Amino acid sequence: MPAKPTPTPHSASAAASSAKKPGNTPAIQIRLLDKDDSIPEITHLLHRAYAGQMAMGLQPLAGRQDDATTKRRCINGECFLAILPAAEGKPARIVGTILFHEVEPDQGPPWFQNKHIDSFSQFAVDPDLQGLGIGRLLLEMVERRAKECGAAELALSMAEPDVNLRQFYERRGYRAIETWKWPYTNYTSLILSKAL
């Protein structure tokens, strides 16, 4: 895992981004996790987003992790949230998340050990709001952060059997590097990477 000048998750260094749903959906704000954000809300979002992979018989950590694990992971990297602002009497809520530069307790794949590589993980968008560009906004945020930190490539680990997900990344310039077996999953992971 490369050493990076990682700001704390509570740093205000990240710029806000916004997206419009075709039609009249409110703007989405992308920002760092704040100490007042609800960890259970993030866990719930992850479980809902990864339910598709769980239904495929896969066991992604994000699809079944408890709140303590969500918290540990969030503070071991820079956790960005996509926020749907309050509107029409409904409170603001977390509708997406991505974790940049997670420092994992488990040994990572060889590609992640290269000094010029950074990575992201725990990437999810509320299933009710997928396909609207929120994922793209979150990806653009971590690609920007990786460049700021001096990385030449941004990498990720995904469940190899999820063919549609692989195509999602390939359409965004990511390419396959190698496979890896994490100790906490029941599938082979595919390591993808993109030159920044």
Ligand X SMILES: CC(C)(COP(=O)(O)OP(=O)(O)OC[C@H]1O[C@@H](n2cnc3c(N)ncnc32)[C@H](O)[C@@H]1OP(=O)(O)O)[C@@H](O)C(=O)NCCC(=O)NCCS
Question: Where on the chain is the footprint of ligand X (CB under 6 A)?
Answer: 49-50, 123-125, 130-136, 156, 158, 165, 168, 171
Quote the least distance from Cβ 148 to ligand X, whole Å. Answer: 21
Give the pair of three-digit tokens for residue 99.
């974790």
Looking at the Cβ atoms of 33 and 125, the one nearer to ligand X is: 125
Query: What gap in Å lies between CA 168 and CA 96, rounded to an integer?
Result: 16
Residues 60-88 as b/e (b if ≥16 CB within 10 A, e otherwise) read bbbbebeeebbbebbbbbbbbbbbbeeee
Quote the least distance from Cβ 165 to ligand X, whole Å. Answer: 5
Looking at the Cβ atoms of 151 and 156, the one nearer to ligand X is: 156
Strand order in 29-32's β-sheet? 29-32, 78-84, 93-100, 117-125, 153-159, 189-195, 175-180
Strand 93-100 relative to strand 117-125: parallel, antiparallel, unpaired? Answer: antiparallel
Looking at the Cβ atoms of 5 and 131, the one nearer to ligand X is: 131
Quote the least distance from Cβ 112 to ligand X, whole Å. Answer: 14
Looking at the Cβ atoms of 111 and 168, the one nearer to ligand X is: 168
Quote the least distance from Cβ 81 to ligand X, whole Å. Answer: 13
Q: Which residue is nearest to ligand X (CB)?
A: 135
